[in-house]
């Protein structure tokens, strides 16, 4: 009986060996897969390291850009503060200048009003001068008329004196009569001779 047990043992051993070989093959395959996956993981890790390094570099560049942007924004903010300050100062100066110009502006308006009044006065004076010229022309015309009438009266008086050969007293009375007749008060024919 030893033999059947040994054959059973052999078969069992063979079965165990076969299973061990199968297990060994599977272990080898798993080991190969593990090696491949490890290699892949190593490659993936390398790729990840490259990506991580690029991300770190981009992060550094982003930080640098952010600092630059922050500096630019701070400069712009400072410039805006300066511009705002200048605008406030300018506005204040304009207000002060406006207040300073108010009296000048008022005087300017007063000057304009005075000029307009003076212009009205000058126009009135020009109108008065035109009327005066008209009156002068009337006076000159009247003077010429009176002068010619007086000359006529003198001539008439001389003629009458010569014609009637009167005395001085009579001559004066006749002259007065002639003057009166020129103005239509007395008819010369009614004067006694």
pLDDT digits (tens, 9 = 90+) for 73-100: 788 788 878 888 888 888 888 888 777 7
Computed over every residue of the chain, the mean pLDDT equals: 73
pLDDT over 60 (residue 168): no
pLDDT tens, position by position, 113-147: 888 888 888 888 888 888 888 888 887 887 778 77
Tokens 């790729």 correspond to 47
Domain count, the chain: 1
Handedness of CA 130, 132, 133, 137 (dihedral sign): positive
Total-model pTM: 0.34
> What are 6's two structure tokens?
């040994």
Res 193: pLDDT: 47
- Furthest CA-CA distance within the chain: 225
Structural domain that includes position 92: 2-190
Give the residue, 6 or 85, on which the prediction is more confident. Answer: 85
Residues with Cβ < 8 Å from 193, sequence gap 6 or more? 164
**Helix axis angle, 168-182 relative to 2-164, nearest 10°?**
150
Is residue 185 a contact partner of residue 153, using CB atoms and an 8 Å limit? no
């Amino acid at each position: 009986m030893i033999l059947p047990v040994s054959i059973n043992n052999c078969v069992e051993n063979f079965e165990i060996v076969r299973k061990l070989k199968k297990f060994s093959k599977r272990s080898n395959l798993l080991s190969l897969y593990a090696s491949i996956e490890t290699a892949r993981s190593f490659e993936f890790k390398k790729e990840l390291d490259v990506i991580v390094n690029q991300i770190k570099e981009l992060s550094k560049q982003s930080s640098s850009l952010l600092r630059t942007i922050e500096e630019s924004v701070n400069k712009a903010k400072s410039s805006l503060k300066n511009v705002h300050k200048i605008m406030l100062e300018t506005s204040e100066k304009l207000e002060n200048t406006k207040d300073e110009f108010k009296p000048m502006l008022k005087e300017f308006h007063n000057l304009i009003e005075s000029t307009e009044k003076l212009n009205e006065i000058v126009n009135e004076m020009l109108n008065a001068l035109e009327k005066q010229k008209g009156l002068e022309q009337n006076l000159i015309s009247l003077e010429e008329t009176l002068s010619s009438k007086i000359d006529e009266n003198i001539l008439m008086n001389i003629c009458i004196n010569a014609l009637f050969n009167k005395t001085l007293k009579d001559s004066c009375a006749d002259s007065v009569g002639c003057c009166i007749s020129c103005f239509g008060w007395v008819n010369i024919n009614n004067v006694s001779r």
